[in-house]
Amino acid sequence: MPKTKEISYAFSAAFDQAYLLEIHDNDLEAIADIFTTAHQQIESEIALSKPFAEKGDSETLRQRFHRIKPLWGYAGLHYWQQHIQVFEDFCRRKPMKDTLMENYERLITQMEVGLSLLQEEAERLKLHFSLNH
């Protein structure tokens, strides 16, 4: 029977630790890289989405956020993934421009919290590696 790696790291409470360890085969270094990559991709998509929010283009905005949604899940932050789904559903209703922008800004504020969590956790993981390897 193969021996599993002993994990001596506890993720912050917002992260689904069991899920992360399972889908990433207990590879903490890979998880740190995924957090960094997800952070970069999400920031990029947010920047690309803003003009569509400002124009009131709810369908293109929905499509842009649909690209972001799996990144949150892959990083074990299902709470933010659910927020994206709610926003996608909202965009499907083709809201008025002002309402769309208001909801977009609220979502971006929530996502900034998630982005901070990704960055902080990646840094914690890297510190963990430096102290334990």
Residue 74 has pLDDT above 80, yes or no: yes
pLDDT at 6: 60
CATH T-level topology, domain 17-124: Four Helix Bundle (Hemerythrin (Met), subunit A) (1.20.120)
Average confidence (pLDDT) over 63-71: 95
Q: How far apart, in whole angstroms, are the C-alpha atoms of residue 32 and residue 77?
A: 14
Average confidence (pLDDT) over 60-83: 96
pLDDT at 2: 44
Residue 25 has pLDDT above 80, yes or no: yes
What is the percentage of the chain residues whose pLDDT exceeds 90? 89
The dihedral of CA 20, 36, 8, 129: what is its sign?
positive
- Compute CA distances 79 → 14, 74, 86, 111, whole Å: 8, 12, 11, 10
pLDDT at 123: 95
Average confidence (pLDDT) over 75-89: 96
Q: How far apart, in whole angstroms, are the C-alpha atoms of residue 96 and residue 99?
A: 5
pLDDT at 130: 85
